[in-house]
Amino acid sequence: MIVVMDADCNEKELQEILDLIDEEGFEAHLSQGIDKQIVGLIGDSAGKEQLQERINSYNQVDKVIPVMEPYKLTGWKFAPEKTVIDVDGVKIGGENPVVMAGPCSVESKEQILETARVVKEAGAEVLRGGAFKPRTSPYSFQGLGERGLELLSLAREKTGLKIITELMDTEHIEMVTSHTDIIQIGSRNMKNYALLKEIGRLDKPVMLKRGMASTVKDWLLAAEYIMSEGNQDVMLCERGIKTFCDDTRYTMDLSAIPLVREKSHLPVIADPSHGTGRWELVAPMSRAAVAGGADGLLIEVHPEPKNALSDGPQSLKPEKFEKLMNELEKLNHALSDIDDSVSPAV
């Protein structure tokens, strides 16, 4: 941590700051400049946001600049190697990107079983489908709830696909975890810290979607909430951020994929369906994400998008999904031939 102060700052205030630094167990190094003076803190300041704020509150302090990244467990520093999450045989974070596909919402037995059948056939390994849906309007379809979870379990039984579905609140933890293989934490809940802490005490893989107004740093800190409670099986998912650009539903920040690979050992998934909001862009953005190093894809597929109860405009029809899976296979083949291709920055 570095403290920048006016060169001619009041001696008394400087001394107070030096005392505070000492009390907190850091060593201080002073560099006196012409207009500014700089105090460097020596010691492990990760997680010392509070000290940073206190120093920043002094009148004569210009700014306090953190030097260390604020996350610990999500970073590479103490990780021997890249995390591979084994979901009952499906390996996420390993050599091949894993495709998770299915409808936005579970709507009926026929719909989910039919979708499961086609995505399985096309090569997907995980079935996605929402039973509890976070909707902007209270008057929109809110999901089938427990009945939806039961249908997902049934689809797993019939196809062998693993299940991923969203958990929206602490109240339904037991119900959701008893049916799903991977818990999805949605974008709107990325900073629902009470929920993150509860999830951290479970023994179940989690996919943490990026908040639509979150930097990569804040996203890794949200993962840190889960990991610091014990659960290490966390994967991240880029799903688009809010920007001025209204040509697409969100702006998919694809550079977050290689950036997470550089900063963290956790697997990172891309969701081009939410990221763009338009089915026409799902195939090119899926190829782009995989070429950029994604460990997996989350793709909305619906047998009849026009009858979908949610997110129809961004859902692929089965035949388009199948075509995309073929393209991805060729792409993976080329990428596997590229040395380090999916781990560029490590």
Where in 80-119 is the site for its own copies (CB under 8 A)? none
- Closest approach of Cβ 204 to its own copies, in Å? 19
Whether 82 and 124 have beta carbons less than 8 Å apart is answered as: no
Name the DSSP letter for residue 141: -
134 makes contact with its own copies (CB under 8 A): yes
Q: Which is nearer to its own copies, 49 or 86 (CB)?
A: 49
12 makes contact with its own copies (CB under 8 A): no
- Closest approach of Cβ 307 to its own copies, in Å? 7
- Closest approach of Cβ 157 to its own copies, in Å? 29
Beta pairing, strands 2-6 & 36-42:
antiparallel
Question: Which listed residue (92, 268, 310, 318) binds its own copies by CB under 8 A?
Answer: 310
Contacts of 326 (CB under 8 A, 6+ apart): none
Name the DSSP letter for residue 298: E
Q: Which is nearer to its own copies, 87 or 106 (CB)?
A: 106
Closest of 246, 244, 249, 224 to residue 236, by C-alpha: 224
Instruction: List binders of its own copies among 233-252 (CB under 8 A).
Output: 241-248, 251-252
Structure tokens at 125: 């390994």
CA distances from 301 to 12, 88, 123, 290, 304 (A): 65, 23, 13, 18, 9
- Closest approach of Cβ 86 to its own copies, in Å? 25
Q: Which is nearer to its own copies, 147 or 242 (CB)?
A: 242
Question: Which listed residue (55, 127, 149, 182) binds its own copies by CB under 8 A?
Answer: 55
- Closest approach of Cβ 95 to its own copies, in Å? 17
Q: Which is nearer to its own copies, 88 or 139 (CB)?
A: 139
CA distances from 26 to 12, 20, 266 (A): 19, 9, 31
Other CB atoms within a 10 A radius of the CB of residue 61 amount to: 19
- Closest approach of Cβ 340 to its own copies, in Å? 9
Question: Which listed residue (88, 89, 137, 178) binds its own copies by CB under 8 A?
Answer: 137
Q: Kindly determine how many residues on this chain lie close enough to bind its own copies according to the rule CB under 8 A.
A: 118
Q: Which is nearer to its own copies, 205 or 272 (CB)?
A: 272
216 makes contact with its own copies (CB under 8 A): yes
CA distances from 131 to 145, 161, 191, 201, 275 (A): 5, 17, 21, 23, 21
- Closest approach of Cβ 214 to its own copies, in Å? 9
Among the listed ranges 95-103, 118-126, 158-166, 211-219, the one in contact with its own copies (CB under 8 A) is 211-219
Residue type, 283: A
- Closest approach of Cβ 71 to its own copies, in Å? 8
201 makes contact with its own copies (CB under 8 A): no
d(CA 98, CA 92): 6
153 makes contact with its own copies (CB under 8 A): no
4 makes contact with its own copies (CB under 8 A): yes
Buried b or exposed e, range 107-138, using 16+ CB within 10 angstroms: beeebbebbbbbbbebebbbbbbbbbbeeeee
Q: Which is nearer to its own copies, 125 or 224 (CB)?
A: 224
Residue type, 275: G
Q: Which is nearer to its own copies, 162 or 296 (CB)?
A: 296
- Closest approach of Cβ 242 to its own copies, in Å? 4
Sign of the Cα torsion 332, 337, 340, 341 reads negative
Instruction: List binders of its own copies among 250-309 (CB under 8 A).
Output: 251-259, 261-262, 275-276, 280-281, 283-285, 287-293, 305-309
Beta pairing, strands 27-32 & 36-42:
antiparallel
